[in-house]
Amino acid sequence: MTWAWAPIDQVGVRMYSAPFFFEGIVLPSALLCSAAIAMLAGMLFRNTVGGMYVGYLAFGGTFATAVLLTAWGRPFSSTTTVPCAGTACAAASAQSIPPVTGHLGDMVTHVAHTANHLVVTYVPAGDFWPLQFVIGGCYLAIAATAAGTALRLLNRRTT
């Protein structure tokens, strides 16, 4: 996915939900997390199909939770004030091209109009990888906990 989106990333915003959650380390981490939760559920229910169902729900649930908690990159947001006047100021929005921040790749989350200024809230394009590692690390921590618990249950049942 990262390879396929590379040309688009060079001219567009990489921080939107679709490219962000399917590029980098977030998707593999989410898949490992759901597999570990499915393994734990299979051990608890003693039912493979039940464990697969819980793993499927865990993937969707953790993915949705990550999208809602980051909403969207709030911990990494920056705010800037841009002077403007006339129709250019009135027409500026989060979808303005070129971005109102002046940096290609920044994801503008909110634009507020004041008298002769725009107050722009955005996630800088340079925060793509830090956000990837934070969200991917959370997934991997959940996966390690679930897998460790499942292995303890397995050892307890076999001894």
CA distances for 64 relative to 6, 57, 79, angstroms: 25, 10, 26
Instruction: Note the pLDDT of residue 97.
Output: 47
- pLDDT grade for 76, boundaries at 50, 70 and 90: confident
Residue 137 falls inside a structural domain: yes
CB-based contacts of 60, cutoff 8 Å, min separation 6: none
Domain count, the chain: 1
Residue 1 falls inside a structural domain: no
What digits encode the pLDDT tens for the residues 6-28?
776 666 666 666 667 777 888 89
Q: Which residue blocks in 15-103 are alpha helix, DSSP H?
A: 17-22, 26-45, 48-70, 86-91
CA distances for 71 relative to 15, 29, 34, 77, 122, angstroms: 11, 19, 21, 10, 12
